[in-house]
Amino acid sequence: MKDCGPAGRPAAGADPQKRDQILDGAKKVFMQKGFDAASMNDITREAGVSKGTIYVYFQNKEELFAALIETERARIVASARHALDEDEPVRTALFQFGVALVTGMSAEYTVQAMRTVIGVIDRMPGLAVRFFAAAPESGYTVLKSYLDRNVAEGTLIIEDTGFAAQQFLSLCSAGIFKHRLFGVLANPPESQQIERTVRAGIDMFMAVYASEKH
């Protein structure tokens, strides 16, 4: 049961719509001004809430930014996970998963967020730890579970599915992720480039890990 205040209203800090409203405003401000230049006053104006309200949900700008990162990561993972839920051949499922994940990773907001974390890592190491900490569900954990199932079914032969999952993620984002992060690719890549890269990654991955009968 959700926490509620008088007349059935959500208790302070427990209204998901209000929280999303604040996060939406914060995302616009961070995109426009960057992390360092953005202020909590900017965010309250953009979100259309009072300063008192915003501090009920988030203690400071760092916590707000971390929540944005976690929300965006969950959205990307949910989209990619769906590809692996389907009863599809391994190559098809991996292709759909890889395209969804790399598209999310190379999106403008995701890249800006990663650059921000790198830029503040010396003075705010906790933010970087939170960014890179293994979430209960991430692209890596979702893929590892999928590989574990296929190893059990005999479709794939993999000794270390955790390492193989990391390899797959690197193969699918080769020439895209780092190029976006460091500005070699100024804009998100076209879908054709992502699909070509993912297909090439799957060819290499399956050449090593597919069982002979597949």
CB 102 within 8 A of CB 176: yes
Residues 6+ apart with CB under 8 A from 172: 98, 101, 102, 197, 198, 201, 202
pLDDT at position 194 is: 97
pLDDT at position 199 is: 97
How confident is the model over 119-142, as pLDDT tens digits?
777 877 777 676 666 455 688 888
How confident is the model over 197-206, as pLDDT tens digits?
999 999 999 9
Instruction: Tell me which of 43 and 79 has the higher pLDDT.
Output: 43
> Is residue 13 pLDDT above 60, yes or no?
no
Instruction: Tell me which of 91 and 15 has the higher pLDDT.
Output: 91
CA distance linking residue 145 with residue 151, whole number of Å:
10
CA distance linking residue 174 with residue 171, whole number of Å:
5
How confident is the model over 14-68, as pLDDT tens digits?
688 999 999 999 888 888 888 888 899 999 999 999 989 999 999 888 888 888 8
pLDDT at position 3 is: 47
Q: What is the mean pLDDT of residues 87-109?
A: 91
Q: What is the mean pLDDT of residues 112-121?
A: 80
Q: What is the mean pLDDT of residues 154-159?
A: 95
Give the confidence band of 108 by pLDDT, cuts at 50, 70, 90. Answer: confident
How confident is the model over 179-197, as pLDDT tens digits?
998 989 999 999 999 999 9
State residue 161 phi and psi, 5-degree precision. -70, -25
Q: What is the mean pLDDT of residues 94-101?
A: 94
Query: Percent helix, strand, coil in the chain (nearest 5)?
Result: 70, 0, 25
CA distance linking residue 21 with residue 136, whole number of Å:
25
pLDDT at position 1 is: 41
Q: Quick one: what percent of the chain has pLDDT higher than 70?
A: 87
pLDDT at position 86 is: 66
Average pLDDT taken over every residue of the chain: 85
Angle, alpha carbons 127-142-126 (nearest 5°): 10
CA distance linking residue 3 with residue 23, whole number of Å:
20
CA distance linking residue 144 with residue 167, whole number of Å:
11
pLDDT at position 132 is: 63
pLDDT at position 2 is: 44
Looking from the CA of 128 toward its CB, the CA atoms found within 13 Å total 11
Residues 6+ apart with CB under 8 A from 31: 108, 109, 112
